[in-house]
Amino acid sequence: MSERRVLVTGGTGTVGSAVVDSLAERGDVAVRAGTRDPAAARERFVSDPSFNGDVEFVRFDFEKPETWGRAFEGVSGLFLVLPPGGSADRVLDAAAAAVRVGVSRLVYLSVLGVERNPVVPHWRIERGLRGLDAAHTFLRASFFMQNFAEVHRRDIAERNEVFVPAGNGETSFVDARDVGEVGAKALTEAGHANRAYDVTGPAALDYDEVAGVFADVLGRPISYPNPSLLRFVRRAYARGRPLPFVLVMAGIYTTARLGLAGRVSDDARRVLGRPPRSLRTFVTDYRERFEPPDSSATDADPRSKVSGDR
């Protein structure tokens, strides 16, 4: 059978699930979603009314090479995600193993500005992937709008504030659904081999402007208190966020504070053939997630709380 098959690692995550959705919607390749718990993942996708169905869930764990063989069987394209706290070496080992058994196209979720930042693991992963005998595409993504609906949801829903230590810096927020769609195109269409795309949203906004968009769409005052790094770390820590996670977030917002997160690129528009989604569209589509507690859903399953297309 000559059907093309693609494996999406991180297939249950913010971007991976958007890649899976986008590929399933296209319908021109067989889609396999990698997860450490296929039964739970299937349950989650299937309970989502907008899920369109034809996806195979397989066990895949970067830390367990014994899961790789079955997951890579018959696969020609691979979407790679470094999981939070994951090991760059494991990602590279898995990619090399995949290429050995016939994967010819690698699409990797990287970060904006990686080419100037050898400290982040993405830099080393990009370099390693370039050395493999397969076409690669790097998606150097800006800050995901979906972070508002996950990490910062409670501050917005319960306290009517966007509480991040970003000073007056701008960020070129991108909707993870657009990153996923760019990934699906890079996996299935011609013309993306050996390229790196800066995947950003359509505009750079500071957090006063972000709060303004939330207030407009949600119809209630939302403020940006512009907290210091210390205040932010204290609150995150008091909420029980693990220290490594708090430190990563502090690093990300310091980048914004220093004015290094605001670059806007045209790459997403060129690949998608339409402008990437604005923050206003994102907040409108996810507005249920930001409703105050009595009318809002829980954090249990962000996938099923989104109205509109994901």
Ligand X SMILES: NC(=O)c1ccc[n+]([C@@H]2O[C@H](COP(=O)([O-])OP(=O)(O)OC[C@H]3O[C@@H](n4cnc5c(N)ncnc54)[C@H](OP(=O)(O)O)[C@@H]3O)[C@@H](O)[C@H]2O)c1
| Residue ranges in contact with ligand X by CB under 6 A | 9-16, 35-37, 41, 60-63, 81-84, 86, 109, 111, 141, 143-144, 147
Helices (H) and strands (E) in the chain, counts: 13, 9
The least CB distance from residue 8 to ligand X, in Å, is: 9
Q: Name the one residue in this structure whose structure tokens are 């996923």.
A: 180
The least CB distance from residue 160 to ligand X, in Å, is: 23
The least CB distance from residue 142 to ligand X, in Å, is: 6
E runs forming strands in 123-261: 135-141, 170-171, 195-199, 205-206
Q: How far is CA 43 from CA 12, 38, 295, in A?
A: 11, 9, 25
Which residue, 57 or 290, is less far from ligand X as judged by CB?
57
* Gap between the Cα atoms of 155 and 224, Å rounded: 10
* Gap between the Cα atoms of 178 and 199, Å rounded: 8
Which residue, 142 or 281, is less far from ligand X as judged by CB?
142
Partnered with residue 105 across adjacent β-strands are 77, 135
Which residue, 147 or 191, is less far from ligand X as judged by CB?
147
* Gap between the Cα atoms of 269 and 3, Å rounded: 29
The least CB distance from residue 213 to ligand X, in Å, is: 17
Which residue, 82 or 213, is less far from ligand X as judged by CB?
82
Q: Which residue is nearest to ligand X (CB)?
A: 13
Which residue, 35 or 281, is less far from ligand X as judged by CB?
35
Helix 176-188 × helix 14-26 angle, to 10°: 50
Identify the CA nearest to 9 among candidates 67, 89, 74. Answer: 67
How is residue 294 annotated by DSSP?
G
* Gap between the Cα atoms of 136 and 126, Å rounded: 9
The least CB distance from residue 122 to ligand X, in Å, is: 6
The least CB distance from residue 112 to ligand X, in Å, is: 7
* Gap between the Cα atoms of 258 and 118, Å rounded: 18
Which residue, 16 or 165, is less far from ligand X as judged by CB?
16
Half-sphere exposure of 267 (CA within 13 A, CB side): 26
Burial of 242 (0-12, 13-18, 19+ CB in 10 A): exposed
The least CB distance from residue 18 to ligand X, in Å, is: 8
The least CB distance from residue 117 to ligand X, in Å, is: 12
Which residue, 70 or 220, is less far from ligand X as judged by CB?
70
Which residue, 59 or 269, is less far from ligand X as judged by CB?
59
